[in-house]
Structures are given as C-alpha cells and as structure tokens.
Structure 1
C-alpha cells in the first residue's frame, strides 16, 4: 500500500492495546510514557522512537496531546497532502501561555499571523509563487561571496588560539548576519536578536514554566516590535536585493496577497527560519563528522565530498526534527484511523532513520547516494524555501574549516546541551581544539586563497562514489564471475539488507549488481556478474579487463527490492543470474526461522550460480529447474500450490516475470519483483516529442525538450526530485500527475496504476500530449 492509499477515508482498524486515544483505541504502555520534553527524546530523538518505528509507527501521546508519526512513508504522505493535513498549527504554541504572559504580548501589540509555514491553500500557494524569486539559484548566488568572506573573517579571529566555542564565536553569528542580509535587514543588534530567536523557539515549541513564560513574552514582544521598526525603515527605500525589499515591491503589485500584517509576520519568522536552523544544522554536522574521524579526514582530503557529507548530516541529525499538522477530515495514517480535528507531530528525524527506506540508517555514510531523500526540509508544496541557502552556508563552513583546521577535534568530555522543545535541535555550545603550530597555512599561506565552487542546490546523485579494491575474483558458474570488493584502506563498509544492490563503474560502464554475500560481513561486498556478449558491454568488460587489486568506483548499497520480514511464509523465484538477490533473501529467512521455498530455473546446472551453497544451506527448500534436463518451472502451478498468505519475491528475465505477474494476478499485493533492465530506458531525441509541465505547487512552467527527460528538466529548474536508477526500475523519481495523459515507460507501476495516470516516473516516462500538470 503506498502513501496515498494510507490516507484513504478512515475504516475501523484499532491497532492499540493498552488507556484510550481519541479514536477509541487503547494506548500502549510505550505511547503513554512518551515525553517530548524530557528524557530519551531530548537526548536522541530517532533512537527514542525506534520502538515506534518497529511496533507502533503512529501512536497517540496523552502527555503531548498529539498523534506521533514516525515512519518515512507516513511522514512523507502527510507532507504530500496539505489539504487533509493542514499546516495551520505549525506555529501554534505547544504549551498554552498563561493570561499574564498573554497580557504582556498584548502590551507590545503582538500580532503574529499566518506565514508561508502555517498558511492553508489557496492563500499559501498564491503567496509562495509571488515571493519565490529570491530563492531561485541565480538569486541565491548573489549571497555566496558574502558568506565566504564572513566565514574567513570569523576563522581569522580564532585560528591561532587553539580552542574555541564554535557556536558562540561563529556558527550563531554568521547565519544571523546572512539571514539579515538575505532579508535586507541592517547588520545590528545581534546579541538582542539571538535572545529573541531563542525566546521565539521556547514560546512556540517549548514547555516554559509560568515564570519563564513572562520572560519569554517580554522577549517575543520586543522581537515583534523590532521587526516592525526594521520593516518601516525598509519601506522608505525598498530598492535593495533583500527578500523583504522584494516583497515590499511586490506588495504594490499584489496588495491583497502581500498585506502589511503578512510582511510583519514574515519579517519576524524569516529571521528565525533563516538563522537558527542553519546554525543548529551546521553544529550538528560538525559533531557528527568530528566523532567520525574517517569521514572528517575524507572531506579534508577531498572537498568535492562536502555537499553529500552535509546532506548526510542533515539526514542523520538535522536541525528541524519534527513538525505539526491538523486533520481537517477523518483520515487513516499508517493504518491507524484518526478523527478530524486531531493534531499530528510528524517526526522527520525518525523518518530519516527508517530502515525501510535507508540502508544502515543509523550510520554516517558520506557516500550515501540517496541521502538527499531525507525529509529534514519537509516535502511537497510546504518544503522549506530556504533549503538551498542553508546548503550553501553549510558547505562553505565545512570547506573553510576542513581546509584551515583539518586537525581540529572536539574538546573531550564536554556535555552537549540542547534547548528542550519538540521540533528544533542543536547544541547550545560546541567547543573544539587544535594545535596552532600545525595550522596548514603556516606552511603554505597559499591555501588562504583557495576555494571550491559548489553548485547551488541538492548534490547530484551519481557524482559521489566510493573507491573499492577488487579483493578476489572467482567463477561461480559457466559465464558467471564472482567479485569480492573491499575498502582500499581497510575500513569497514556500510551495512546492507537482502535485496540491496550496488552500482559499479568500470571504464565507461556503469552497471547495477545485487549483493549476494554475507550481509553481516562489514569487510567485503560480493556480487556475481553473468557475461552477456549481446548486452551493452559492461559485463564483458568486467570479465575481460578487471583483475584482482584493481580499483573501481561503487555507489551504494541501496535497496529497492526490500524483504518484508513480517510475513510467515515466502516463495522465492529466480531465473538465471536473478538468483543473486534471492540467495541473500533465503539466507536471511533461514536465520529468522521463517517458512520459505526457493524455485530456481536456469539453462543448465553448470550455468546456475551458487548451487553448492544453496544445497548446503537450504536443502529441501530448494527446487531446481535446469532447462537442458527437461525440467521446466511451471509458474502457475507453483503459485497455485503456495499459501494465499505467502509473500512472493522474484528476479529473472522479463518473460519469466511477466508470466509470474499473470499467475499472481489475484494477489498482486504479495508479489515483489526486480527487473534486470528497462527495455525503453534510452532516450532517442529523433523520435521523441517535446512537452511542457506545469508545476502546480511551485507556480512554474517547465519545458521538456525531446533530448531531455522530465527528471533532467525538473532538476535544471531547481526542483528537488529524488532519483536513482534512471531506467524506471526503482520508483524513486515518482511524481504525482494532476492532469494530462502519461506515456508510461517504467517497470514499477501496475497496469491499473498506469491506466489511472495519477503517478509517473520522471526518469523515463513522458507526456502523450503537449502538457502535463504535476503536484510539484
């Protein structure tokens, strides 16, 4: 069931077992004890919700008064539907303020209103379109020289001291200055603004005591009045390059859309949004990297890794950890019925650690090629508009620090403290130290003038690959070559799960190969490659040109053919080299003590890989169908004989998979297949027709010429769409279609889904007519 299906009108499910939630279901012991303001959630939010991702992915918290959503697909589905799940409470106070505190706010004429963050449709989209210009990549490029100049100036202040609190002396002030510059605000009152930002966070997302509420209200009131005074100064001369100045100019054209109260609210919210989140995100990233010295040393040696490393840090420990939504209708989220009017806490940091979407999700892997699929910036039409400004700042901070202080380390035994709240996370202080005598610029002053120009936007998938050594090569069957790969420096490799694959780049070829070794072996990755002389050349090149000891480039591991371990019975079907993901699944099921059967077909026993291993480890569960012996795999009979509850996993030639889909037509939800390739993956500009896509949420119109895919056109327009295989095999680049007929060319969607044309794969599918309208 996909994310949209999960949001269908509520049915009668009641998955809880323990006091009572608003839907009438009992609350479990773990849910009753969940506290968002103290204890484990404040120490390590994703770890604190591990139990929920595993057992109760959507639960009601009586202490918080919210439903908590923890899994990736559910969080993403909620973000996708901002009609059913209204953002109107995103800035609502988690803890209602006292009447005394409210009186203080009234004294300051505090009137925080709707902003882009918490506004419903259609007003949100109309204003977003009107104010999008300043966030375009070419506009953000104007701020890059200032960010770099400021960063160098601040590092100059402490470079020879040997120890510094990076939060106090760099990470807070530079993003604040950048935020003010972006908005067009004069650079002044930094100390006061810092306190104002903290107060705003506590006021909205914290749990201040009655006494603290009074102090917070004073600070918030002052913040409100300060924002108003600055706005009036800017009205006198709105000719600058700042976003608020641009908004003032647009107000003259659209006074009903961009109102005075809206500008005042956006001024205050913008300072917090563009400042505090970036400061916290960078501090979190430095904590992760300095605790993982191999990763830190890698980006010191190769700055081109920095964009992906920053993205991985945002995934693993982002600064915005949770957001809120209000149900405008009864809905089902993750299989749980939730009534209209209920509140959701959607925990992005938990979703970013969901093993159902990310391989080895709790590990820092700066080579991870799907890390940009994290939800730290949100998703859908309310995705953070300032995401690319934050990326720019983080990358420059990391580049300057790794170049000038590669020997920097965390001060030992310091206790990192975090402001207690539901939604934002970053250390109050971060102390680092180094030996100034070892500063590289003392030996080579020329490094002070060096820099790397990073492209604005999300890093391109495929640009980052890890170096791997071919440790061993051995024949696995006639025409099948096994490769064992290891890290050249002897480092541990990322973990992986059955069904995962890697992308191998050798010479001019890049090919995908399923992992088929021991998933518990962190020193080696193993693949098996059948030589296809009539293929595209990659397998033949590996068989003839690669030797033990050679260095090749590898992306992954990643998994689009994931094994659901929750079933009791399994049917595993493999044809030819399709045994590679299947054998890893069989090994896992055996360890779990599950009931399973393997049906393996091939040209001959001599050409069927891993036969000895399969017989040794799986015995009577293994059924072989060597064609040259006249033993044929009767798929309809195999499916008919299997339990109705059995999950079917298959990999093999297209003809076999097509027959299997026909045989399993009565239970398509239990069939999981992996294709070798997509027959129509290559784009031929001579026969393609150009078309146009209207992006409903972004307010943009993007042309798709005959020589470019929809995915390429979207990326060129600065629209973040995840992608992976580029062949319509994995489903990563799925986009929602609102209007228009689709020319489907993928291997992901079912016949019924294609007929409905509500979704398409941007990497390969196109329009049948001249225009499509997409929910982007």
Structure 2
C-alpha cells in the first residue's frame, strides 16, 4: 500500500478555517470546491490543480465528501477495496425529494449491486463468471461491425463540410455497438440517449428540485425497458451478447448470477458500454483537433493511434472521478479520515499528476507510460469493457485521420452535463473543405484499414521520429549518430545508463543502443554503433543505410542500468562498444564529484571509441587497455578484493561480464551492475517446462500459465494490461512486483541481489519454480 495511506493516528491538520467532521480545518479553496460548476466540468484536472500541489486530500463542505487528487494515493485506494468500499459508486450523490422518490417507486425501480459497486466476497465470483466475453480474443468479432458503422456514419456527412460529431456519429455508433455487445435489439436511439443522460444526472449530478421528477420518470422508464428486454432474452438465451451469456451462466451459477443482478447489470451495462465510450471519443477528437500538430502526426502515421488513444484517455478521459466509502479509520495524505467517510477520488486529476506523468498537461502521443492512466480504474474493479472502448476509439481516429485529415474545430462554446464523474462535450462542431477530401482523388481510402490492437498498446507501437543531424566516425567501424526532433522540439529527459530502441529498416528489426551524449543536451540523443557483420543485422543496416537528414523511428529512452548518484566511489569497466553507457555515467559521476575510475578495454586504440574525448574529460582517472599494445585489464587484480563503499558498473562482451560476475561474487549484494545487449534466452520448450498459476493480488483473479506460454501472454489473454517491448528479457519494460512464490529468473536485467530478493520479475521470460506465484497486478 502506498505510504500516503496508513492507519488513523493523531496528526496536525495542514490548513486553517472552518472544520471538517474529523475536526480538521477546511481551507478557503476546499470550501469553494464545486464539482457541479462550469469550471470543474470544463477541465477537472486544472480545477483541482491547487489541491494536487498544496492539499491533495481535502474536505468539501458543499459535497459532503473527502476529495482525493494525487495519482499514487488514488491507485492505493483502488488497490484496497476492502478498506475503501465501492458500495457508494452508484449512490445518488444528490438525494432526491419525496415526489421524485415516489415516481421511481411507481416504476418499481430497484437498481441494486453491479460489477461497479459490489463488495467482496460477492464481487469477484460474479466477475470471474462473466469475464470471458471481454477478453481480447472474444472481442475480435465486434471489429467488423464497428468499422461498418464508422464508415456508414461518416458517409452521411463527409460531403457537407460541417458536422456535429457528437450528434451525427459519436453518440449513436457507440450506442449501437453497446447494444450489439449486450445482445439488446436496437431500439429508438433518441429515447435511449435521454434515458442514459437521465441516469447520469440522477446518480452523479445535481438536478434542481423542478427537474427531479422528469429525471425520475426517465430513469423509471429506463429501468422498465431494461427489464422488458431481459424478459425477452430469457425466452431464448442462446443468441450472441453478454446478457444472453449471463443468462446461460445463471443456469450453472444461480447463486452468483441472480435475477436482480442481471436486471441491474442490463441497465448499468447500457450506460457503461455506451456513454463512457461516446464521451471518450468526443473528448479525444476535441483534444487532438485543439492540437493540430499532434493531429497531423496521427494523420501522417496511423501506427501512433493505439498510444494516442491512451494519451487521450489520460489527458482528457470521459471518467473524471469515482467514489469510495472508508470502512475503517485511515490516514490519507496525512489527514485522519474516520470510518464511514465518503471519498470522491478524482482520477482525472491523478492523470495529470506531475509526480507520475512528466509534463502532465502536455499532449504527447508517444508518452511511454500513457497507459498508466486511471481512467479505467485499477485493480479488482478495473473497467471490464476497456478493450472494447479502445477498439472503438482506435477505429474512429483511424477513419477520421484517413478520410478527413483536413478537419478542424469550428468556433463554439463547449457545454457538459453537470455531474461529478462522467464528462464529454454535448456537441462537437467541426469543419472542412469537401473539395479537399482525399478519397475524391483516391476512392480506395474509404475502405482502407489499419490493424486494430485490442488491449493495452505494446511499447512496440510507440515510436518517435528523429532526424539524423550528424554522423561522425569515432573509431574504426564505429559511427556516432546525433539524433534530433525534425521540428526542433525538446526531447524527453534521460539519465545515464538509458538506452533507446532504433527500428533498423522495419519494426521487426529493432535494436537497443545506449545513449552516450550529455544528458544536459535536451535537443539531441547520441548513440554510437559498431558495425558487426556477423551480428543480428541492426548495426549493419545503420552503417549501410542511415544518412544525415534521414528520419529514424526510435522508442524510449528507458533506463534499467541506473547510476546510483549517492555512491561514494565507483569503478567503471567497459569493453569495446560497451563504453557507450559507461561514458555517460562517468561524465555524470565527474559532475557530481563522486570518486571514480574508468577502465576501458579494446582490441586496439583505433577500434576504441571516444578515446581522445575521454582522456580530455577524465585525465588520470581513465585507464586504457589496448590488446595490440600488450595491455589487458586484470580484472582479478582490479576487483578480486571487495572494496568498501564502492560500486562497479560494467558493459561489454558477454565473456567479460560473466568473468566479472564470478570475480564480484564475494562483493556485497548489488555492488556490481551490468548492462547486457544480447539475450541468452532460447525458444520456450514446453517439454522442459511446467504449468503454474499466477494470482493477481490487485485484480483478484488467478491466471493459469501453460507450459508453452509466457506469463506475459497468459496475462494478456486474461484481459490484463501489461506493457512489454523486447520480449527477450533485455529491456525491463514488463517488470511486475512479486509478493509470493519463488521465481525462475531468466532475464538479464535484474542484479544478483534483486533476483535473490525475489521481489520482482520479467513476465516476458521468467517463470515460477513452483506451482504458484502471487504478483501485484
């Protein structure tokens, strides 16, 4: 659990003013907090920026809730659904009067528990029984319908030059898809839209007394409609659709899938599968068109769309907040919260938390951790329909960017249905010149398709184009490339030990290269590439094909070879092209005033990169060993005896690294850190492996990993989001935290001490020694 949450204790409140129920003073900004006002509706993260920065958890007298705004705290709340019950997630945030309540009673309205607001132990058994239709494999057959609807709706207005995307497409297509997914016959969409909005206002809004009766009638009608559809399905539950699936499961699990549960899920499912996706699509198009340079990038490179969807969900998602109930006294962000307190957890604020997302207010469709957003929630109650929403959003963006790349926002004022939790513009007017429609020149564009990725985007999908500004020989067979953004923009920050992945001719030939320049240079990445004709093809491709002015696709930077900047003394050991990460580290050690020495070996001086630069920068701290000069680095003499308060960082040929591991075996744990660039993994042989179970502590499910399957593949098949990149145990992107069970480590990322600690593993390659692992996911 996050350190921001702990058992209740006497704490000093950080603010002054009126007091909250626990006696804590309420600040003026907290007293003014109004989630039903236009400022919150227009931009929730900006509206609570003051709270994220100054008062991350505060009492709202107007709402009667504690409001939580920071990423790590909110994720910890999602993780602990026993202390923080979801039972109030569908409770009316504004109590209705007796007249409206009488109207609801006249319809026998009885919305009860659903997957959204149910506590354990009832929740997970139902979730497990009903999950199968939401897995990526099961969702594939919905793709043709989404594509067909998208094409047909765009056809209706593509020659008009102006459209309200919400009214003319983005509301109706997700509704049709939702009904198709649920197995509900398509009814009057205008009526269902009214019902859906009424349900949102009734649950999360603040309808005026004179509006409450009309809202109650709409909600009552919605409830009866859901019941009527369910009754028809019961007569023949053999058809396609999630509700029919639930009815069939009811026969096997009548105590889990009950009639009242199905009725509530029918109504809630229409809203969940439809309204949140419709709003997310409108928010995404609004955000991208507000940033024309980003929209142009997507139009030029559709491969960016999967991660662009994640960035849109992070930056401007359709779910602004959720609610939880504290079941016991607890301290959140230093504030004592008594049992029974209601919490509004503002997930949209968490998604703009600078502590987790660098430049959080910026729109970066190549953001490496965009899918860390909490728009889908997290843990046991994470949105089951997330991958259906991702599919729809990808197809919408792909179709618009292909057929209407010249579309722009029209002048307008955006309005939202006032409520705490779900948001999207009621209208989204766009304009374009029909004479410039690309398909007038090329009719085939109307039906073209870009493959959809169902599930969280892999790091393989996140590339950044960088222009080769300079290519400089730095040794025999070694060339240094200076890479800059084509538009001159500042590049994401990096730290010594970081590497980038470079596509060498195709996405299937991607190689890792350490950054060897100056981390203070914000406008360029520098790598040095040794031509290896007997290698795997990447370096040969760069030497043969890369030229100044060319644009290369890169991913990263990412760092799993991180320098300990608090070290007292460091011994750097490099062999051959392994000098690349070590050069940046040694530069940083000098800047920090750390006591260090650099030992660099090679076949000859002419094959050793950066020799003159290193000598000028490090002087007597640099020790060179050229074999053709009869000098070899005696590693036993150098490191055979452990040295106090000293760390060793090494990169080079595999034989050198293996020798170092043996020599440093007597050193303290974690004293030796090694960077690898080649994997020792072979093909997974099921005859030599065994199946095992992986329990996902946060999600509350157990996944079986077959003997012929990686943990990563099994998790994805079970609808669990997890990042990956190299899938060779080299890059560290698929790391998860291990809570129990012994890991059979097969990566080359973790240190000896990290392996012995058994606290994390790489899901792309490592396995269980026994029959079960428990991981934090």
Query: What is residue 209 of structure 1 aligned with on the other side?
Result: 208
* 715 and 134 in structure 1: CA distance in 2 versus 1, 3 angstrom threshold: closer
Write the distance in 1 (CA, Å) between the matches of 2:737 and 2:409.
45
| Mapped pair 1:677 → 2:676 | yes
CA distance in 2: counterparts of 1:632 and 1:31, whole angstroms: 61
Deviation per CA, 1:536-568, whole angstroms, max 9, x where unpaired? 77996599555533442201345678999xx9x
Instruction: Indicate the residue corresponding to 2:554 in structure 1.
Output: 554
SS of the counterpart of 1:390?
helix
Report the Cα offset of residue 656 of structure 1: 10
Deviation at 1:234, TM superposition (A): 1.9
| Alignment pair present for 1:492 and 2:492 | no
In structure 2, C-alpha distance between the alignment counterparts of 1:661 and 1:8, rounded to whole Å: 39
- Distance in 2 (CA, whole Å) between partners of 1:584 and 1:35 is 51
**1:87-166 mapped onto 2 (5 Å cutoff):** 87-166=86-165
8 Å CA contact 1:35–1:63 kept in 2: the answer is yes
Matched, 1:316 2:325: no
1:586 Cα offset (Å): 8.4
Cα pair 1:509 1:537 within 8 Å, conserved: no
Give 1:166 shift. Answer: 0.7
DSSP-derived class of the 1:603 partner: strand
Match of 2:439 in 1: 441
Q: 1:340 to 1:760 in 2, by over 3 A?
A: farther
In the TM superposition, residue 125 of structure 1 has moved relative to its aligned partner by 0.8
Instruction: Give the drift of 1:269.
Output: 0.4
Q: Is 1:626 equivalent to 2:628 in the alignment?
A: no
Cα shift at 1:267:
0.8
| Partner residue in 1 for 2:466 | 468
Distance 1:477 1:32, change over 3 A: farther
- Report how far residue 116 of structure 1 moved: 0.3
**Greater shift in the superposed pair: 192-201 or 759-768:** 759-768
Q: Give the match for residue 376 of structure 2.
A: 377
Show CA shifts across 1:732-755 (max 9, x none): 534455653223456888989866
> Offset at 1:757?
5.0
1:489-533, Cα deviation, whole Å (9 max, x unpaired): x36354436566532333645114347546674xx3223448698
Report what 1:691 is aligned to.
691
Match of 1:454 in 2: 452
Change (3 A) 1:422 1:729: farther
Give the match for residue 769 of structure 1: 770
Equivalent residue for 2:266? 267
Residue 293 (structure 2) pairs with residue 294 (structure 1): yes
TM-score normalised by length of structure 2: 0.82
Which aligned pairs between 1:566-581 and structure 2 lie closer than 5 A? 575=572, 577-578=580-581
Segment of structure 1 superposing worse, 722-731 or 373-382: 722-731
d(CA) in 2 for partners of 1:238, 1:581: 64
Residues 207-255 of structure 1: CA deviation (Å, up to 9, x unaligned): 2222233332222222212212222222222222011122122222222
Q: Distance in 1 between matches of 2:424 and 2:340?
A: 31
| Match in the other structure for 2:704 | 702
**Take 1:748 and 1:322, find their aligned partners in 2: how far apart are those partners?**
37
- Aligned equivalents of 1:70, 1:758: Cα separation in 2: 29
Structure 2 CA distance for aligned equivalents of residues 253 and 139 of structure 1:
21
Q: Could you say what secondary structure the match of 1:552 adopts? A: strand
CA deviation string 1:409-447 (max 9, x = no partner): 111x21111222221121110001111222223233233
> 1:223 maps to what in 2?
222
Distance 1:416 1:572, change over 3 A: farther
Structure 2 Cα separation of the partners of residues 226 and 121 of structure 1: 29
Q: Which moved more, 1:413-422 or 1:726-735?
A: 726-735
Q: Cα deviations across residues 669-708 of structure 1 (Å, max 9, x unaligned)?
A: xx9x9853389763563696333224464755433435x5
| Preserved contact between residue 373 and residue 722 of structure 1 (Cα < 8 Å) | no
Q: Is the 8 A contact 2:16 2:25 kept in 1?
A: yes
Where does structure 2 lack aligned partners over 5 or more consecutive residues?
Answer: 573-578, 626-632, 652-656
1:712 aligns with 2:713: yes
Q: Is the 8 A contact 1:359 1:558 kept in 2?
A: no
Identify which range, 377-386 or 571-580, moves more after superposition. Answer: 571-580
Change (3 A) 1:632 1:314: same
Structure 1 alignment gaps of length 5 or more: 591-595, 617-621, 640-648
Structure 2 CA distance, aligned partners of 1:340 and 1:695?
A: 30
- Per the alignment, residue 363 of structure 1 pairs with 362
Asked if the contact 1:359–1:496 (Cα under 8 Å) also holds between the matched residues in 2, the reply is no
| 1:385 positional shift | 0.9
1:613, distance to aligned residue in structure 2 (A): 11
State the Cα distance separating 1:333 from its structure 2 match.
Answer: 4.2
After superposition, what is the alpha-carbon deviation per residue over 1:253-309, rounded to whole angstroms, capped at 9, x for unaligned?
222111111111111101110111111111111112222223323333333332222
Q: Do the aligned partners of 1:741 and 1:768 also contact (CA within 8 Å) in 2?
A: yes
The separation in 2 between residues aligned to 1:46 and 1:674, in whole angstroms, is: 40
In structure 1, distance between residues paired with 2:48 and 2:269: 30
Paired with 2:419 and 2:41, the residues of 1 have a C-alpha distance of: 8
Contact 1:740–1:771, Cα closer than 8 Å, also in 2: yes
CA contact (8 A) 2:107 2:224 kept: yes
Query: Structure 1 pair 327/627, CA: closer, same or farther in 2 (3 Å)?
Result: farther
Q: Which residue of structure 1 lines up, in the alignment, with residue 524 of structure 2?
A: 525
Deviations 1:458-497 (A, max 9, x none): 2222134233221124478999865321234x36354436
Does the 8 A contact of 2:480 with 2:527 survive in 1?
yes
* Stretch of structure 1 that moved more, 335-344 or 187-196: 335-344
Partner SS state of residue 462, structure 1? helix
Question: When the two structures are aligned, how many residues end up with a matched partner?
Answer: 740
Q: 1:16 aligns with which of 7, 10, 14?
A: 14
**Alignment CA distance shift 1:301-1:409 (3 Å):** same
Q: Which residue of 2 aligns with 1:741?
A: 742
Q: Which moved more, 1:187-196 or 1:331-340?
A: 331-340
- Measured at CA, do residues 153 and 762 of structure 1 come closer, stay the same or move farther in structure 2, by a change above 3 Å? same
CA drift at 1:332: 4.5
Residues of 2 paired with 1:700 and 1:126: CA distance?
12
Partners of 1:336 and 1:436 lie apart in 2 by 57
- Checking the alignment, whether the CA contact within 8 Å between 1:601 and 1:625 is kept in structure 2 is yes
Alignment check: 8 A CA contact 2:516 2:581 kept: no
Cα pair 1:281 1:426 within 8 Å, conserved? yes
Matches within 5 A, 1:424-435: 424-435=422-433
Length-normalised TM-score, structure 1:
0.82
Contact 2:246 2:257 in 1 (8 A): yes
Residue 413 of structure 2 is aligned with which of 407, 412, 415? 415
Q: Aligned residue for 1:619? A: none
